[in-house]
């Protein structure tokens, strides 16, 4: 099993075609109209996308042929569920679908024992996440998942983290010769599941601060003001700002 393996599942990876975004949209339109040849061309034209995604999982010692086949299932699901009316690149939508399918496969074949109840919650969360992704054309937030499942968000986060291996935000998952798609692009500004526990803890800690402390931290760390500027803004001395800022940060650290 080498990364530079030429054939996977009998497919010569060195000759895989790469479609332009316009070609993908054209084939998707034809596929929606029942053109089976267009659907086949669309699948074959995105196999390099599957190949790019599975390479991030090769250090787990899994068989590349198996991962490739599972990744193709994710690709087909993405093709069948992609909403043409949304202004989203197909690869941006397909990558998390492929990753999700591979993670389900790895989870079901994971030798590390996770409690049945935890696995059940994780499995239901992944199903719900896929459903909401199809509806919204983006991955749902933890709050949206928790509301849809009627389960506390902390339980969902713990369940998902128990069956998913953490990855770097800057790990590339796909490049079609244009802009490279990184893991962080898939979680972007939508508060995905990479750091939910920390986010929950941070929000809880901040909620215990006074209004003045919240205002100071907002001005200092979100708006980039100096302590002198903050002092002038809220009408106290720079020394008081410094003391309140340190006190607020100390409270947050203790809470977390």
pLDDT tens for residues 150-184? 988 888 887 776 665 544 444 555 555 555 555 54
Percent of the chain at pLDDT above 90? Answer: 7
Domain 7-200 has CATH 3.40.50: no
Reading the block at residue 213, the tokens are 């402390």
Reading the block at residue 220, the tokens are 């200092």
Residue boundaries of the structural domains of the chain: 7-200, 208-255
**CA end-to-end span of the chain, whole Å?**
43
Q: How far apart are CA 55 and CA 177, in angstroms?
A: 17
- The pLDDT tens digits of the residues spanning 232-250 come to 888 888 888 888 888 888 8
Q: How far apart are CA 221 and CA 218, in angstroms?
A: 6
Q: How far apart are CA 77 and CA 142, in angstroms?
A: 23
Q: Minimal CA–CA distance to 67: which of 118, 28, 11, 24?
A: 11
Angle (CA) 24-28-34 rounded to 5° is 145
**Measured on CA atoms in the order 110, 111, 112, 118, is the torsion positive or negative?**
positive
* Under 8 Å between Cβ of 78 and 94: yes
Q: How far apart are CA 146 and CA 172, in angstroms?
A: 29
Higher pLDDT, 67 or 190: 67
According to DSSP, the β-strands at 11-12 and 180-182 are: unpaired
Higher pLDDT, 1 or 252: 252
Q: Minimal CA–CA distance to 173: which of 99, 86, 106?
A: 99
Q: Minimal CA–CA distance to 50: which of 6, 87, 101?
A: 101
Average pLDDT of the residues in 64-68? 84
Query: In the beta sheet, which residues pair with residue 174?
Result: 181
Q: DSSP per residue over 231-256, as a string?
A: HHHHTS-HHHHHHHHHHHHHHHHHH-
> Tokens 């968000």, residue?
153
CATH class for the domain made up of 208-255: mainly alpha
Beta-strand ranges (E) seen in the chain are 7-8, 11-12, 172-175, 180-182
Reading the block at residue 119, the tokens are 């696995």
Q: Minimal CA–CA distance to 20: which of 31, 11, 28?
A: 28
What band does 82 get if pLDDT is binned at 50, 70 and 90?
confident
What band does 9 get if pLDDT is binned at 50, 70 and 90?
low
Average pLDDT of the residues in 32-36? 91
140: number of Cβ within 10 Å: 23
* Under 8 Å between Cβ of 174 and 49: yes
- The pLDDT tens digits of the residues spanning 99-108 come to 888 888 877 7
């Amino acid at each position: 099993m080498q990364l530079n393996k030429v054939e996977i599942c009998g497919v010569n990876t060195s000759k895989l075609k790469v479609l332009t975004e316009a070609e993908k949209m054209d084939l998707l339109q034809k596929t929606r109209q029942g053109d089976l040849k267009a659907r086949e061309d669309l699948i074959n034209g995105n196999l390099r996308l599957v190949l790019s995604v599975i390479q991030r999982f090769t250090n787990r010692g899994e068989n590349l042929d198996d991962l490739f086949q599972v990744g193709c299932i994710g690709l087909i699901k993405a093709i069948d569920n992609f909403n043409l009316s949304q202004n989203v690149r197909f690869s941006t939508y397909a990558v998390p679908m492929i990753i999700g399918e591979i993670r389900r496969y790895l989870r079901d074949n994971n030798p590390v024992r996770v409690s049945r109840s935890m696995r059940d919650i994780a499995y239901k969360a992944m199903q719900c996440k896929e459903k909401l992704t199809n509806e919204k054309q983006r991955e749902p937030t933890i709050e949206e998942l928790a509301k849809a499942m009627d389960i506390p968000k902390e339980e969902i986060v713990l369940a998902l983290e128990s069956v998913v291996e953490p990855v770097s935000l800057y790990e590339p998952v796909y490049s079609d010769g244009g802009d490279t798609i990184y893991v962080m692009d898939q979680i972007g500004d939508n508060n995905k599941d990479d750091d939910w526990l920390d986010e929950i803890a941070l929000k809880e800690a901040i909620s215990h601060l006074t209004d003045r402390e919240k205002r100071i931290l907002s001005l200092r760390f979100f708006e980039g003001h100096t302590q002198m500027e903050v002092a002038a803004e809220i009408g106290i001395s720079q020394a008081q700002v410094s003391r309140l800022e340190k006190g607020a940060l100390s409270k947050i650290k203790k809470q977390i």
